Amino acid sequence: MDQPERQSHWDDRYRTSGADSVSWFEAEPRLSLELFDLVGATPASSVIDIGGGASSLTATLQQRGFADLTVLDVSAEALDASRRNVDSPDEITWIRADLLDWSPARRWNV
């Protein structure tokens, strides 16, 4: 599968099912939050959610005071849905990119 096919595949998954009806949807990202605690992440930590999709993780972290948040996903459909779910979307960095072709311009703590 090449990059345009990956984007189209994931856009179709979100478009046809709806962001909260995809098979991997969870209302509360409980395990991810437990892992954040285990690695000692705090609201001062910078975080990137790679393949973040329309997950509620970023919205939850923003509500907990995390201020340096980035979401990367190949699917524009997923990022649009995620953007609608957060309180302050303009305070988050959204990257529509394919991880396999992407070179980070900075570093993150988590």
Binding footprint of ligand SAM on the chain (CB under 6 A): 6, 10, 24, 51-53, 55, 73-75, 78, 98-100
Shortest Å distance, C-beta 88 to ligand SAM: 20
* Token representation of residue 18: 């709806």
Shortest Å distance, C-beta 10 to ligand SAM: 3
Task: Give 70 or 75: the residue with its C-beta nearer to ligand SAM.
Answer: 75
Which amino acid would we find at residue 27? Answer: A
Task: Give 68 or 81: the residue with its C-beta nearer to ligand SAM.
Answer: 81
Shortest Å distance, C-beta 50 to ligand SAM: 7
Q: Are 36 and 60 in contact (CB under 8 A)?
A: no
Q: Are 92 and 58 in contact (CB under 8 A)?
A: yes
Task: Give 6 or 46: the residue with its C-beta nearer to ligand SAM.
Answer: 6
The rounded distance, in Å, linking the Cα atoms of 80 and 10 is 13
The rounded distance, in Å, linking the Cα atoms of 34 and 15 is 30
